[in-house]
Amino acid sequence: AAGVIQSPRHLIKEKRETATLKCYPIPRHDTVYWYQQGPGQDPQFLISFYEKMQSDKGSIPDRFSAQQFSDYHSELNMSSLELGDSALYFCASSRTVRNYGYTFGSGTRLTVV
């Protein structure tokens, strides 16, 4: 079965650089969520999109932005990277039917040096 695809799997950037993370949801899933998980932490919600419109926003820094495209894939853009941005970034997708559940991608491990 198709899963949520995230790219790249690993990314190393220097401070003050920019990073772009991509997420390809499961076909026919209309909602995409982005989470940030620091070492030893639980995942923290960043932002979500429903039908290509921003749906909800969590603790996302102003340096981060995201969008969902016409093919439903989503990109998380992170600028002026800081050491504290080093984390695992998850994308998840779901259908609006609440009982369907949420499927997570394998995550992008971002290291800022």
Chain residues in the site for other proteins (CB under 8 A): 31, 33, 37, 42-43, 45, 48, 50, 55-56, 58, 88, 90, 92, 94, 96, 98-99, 101-104, 106-107, 109
At closest approach, how far in Å is the CB of 54 from other proteins?
Answer: 10
User: Which among 2, 4, 13 has a CA at the least distance from the CA of 109?
Assistant: 13
Residue closer to other proteins (CB basis): 14 or 98? 98
Map tokens 């080093």 to a residue.
86
Q: What is the dihedral of CA 86, 38, 68, 21, to 10 degrees?
A: 30
Token pair belonging to 65: 């932005």
At closest approach, how far in Å is the CB of 80 from other proteins?
Answer: 26
